[in-house]
Amino acid sequence: MLTNFGRLPQLVIDGEAIGRRLHAAQNTHDKPEQGSIIIIVATDAPLDARQLRRVAAELVRTGSTYGHGSGDIALAFSTAYTVAHDADFIAMPPLLNDACLDPLFRAAANVEQAIIDVLFSAETVIGRNGHRRISLNEALEKRSSKC
């Protein structure tokens, strides 16, 4: 999962507005949303392309706020079928009824924990022209050492 999206003031973890506090402490100005989130989900549920597209749309809506310049991508695929490479015809196997998709939507919407894990796993990086982006862990350490 790539999580390069959202605005710092919007970061809420376990109900606590951590982003707002860090944003105020860093005295940064708001910039337009330009980040991205890329989410990939695999399921063994027997879904067709339309159903997978619906599940993928749920992922993007849950994991990100849109902004001009942001690039949000979700890919969903099913491993329920195998098709022989040299098959003369493909028989469509039974699909999951749309009325049974709710558990898959709930599972897809539950990406918050994965996003938080990625944020806390990130390290501070230094980019072009010495531009430094500190990790969430470092930002929280700096904040707690000031208290």
pLDDT in tens, 103-137: 998 887 777 777 788 888 988 889 999 988 888 88
Which pair of tokens denotes residue 110?
């539950």
Catalytic, out of 14, 64, 72, 88? 72
Residue 16 backbone dihedrals phi, psi, to 5 degrees: -100, 130
As a whole number of angstroms, the longest Cα–Cα distance in the chain is 70
Q: Are 98 and 51 in contact (CB under 8 A)?
A: yes
The residue from 64, 70, 88, 98 that is catalytic is: 70
Note the pLDDT of residue 5: 61
Q: What is the pLDDT of residues 15-61, one digit of tens each?
A: 777 888 777 766 555 666 666 777 788 999 999 999 999 888 765 55
What pLDDT, on a 0 to 100 scale, did the predictor assign at position 52? 93
Instruction: Establish how many alpha carbons lie within 13 A of residue 6's alpha carbon, considering only the half-sphere containing its beta carbon.
Output: 22
Catalytic residue from among 14, 30, 36, 102: 36
pLDDT of residue 65: 56
pLDDT at position 116: 81
Give yes or no: 72 in active site. Answer: yes
pLDDT at position 78: 93
pLDDT tens track for 61-119: 544 555 556 667 778 999 998 888 888 888 777 999 999 999 998 887 777 777 788 88
pLDDT at 17: 79
| 34 within 8 A of 60, measured Cβ to Cβ | no
User: Do 67 and 33 contact (CB within 8 A), yes or no?
Assistant: yes
How far, in whole angstroms, is CA 28 from its chain's centroid? 24
Query: Is 64 an active-site residue?
Result: no
Based on the residue annotation, tell me whether 78 is a catalytic residue of this protein: no
> How many helices and strands in the chain, by DSSP H and E?
5, 5
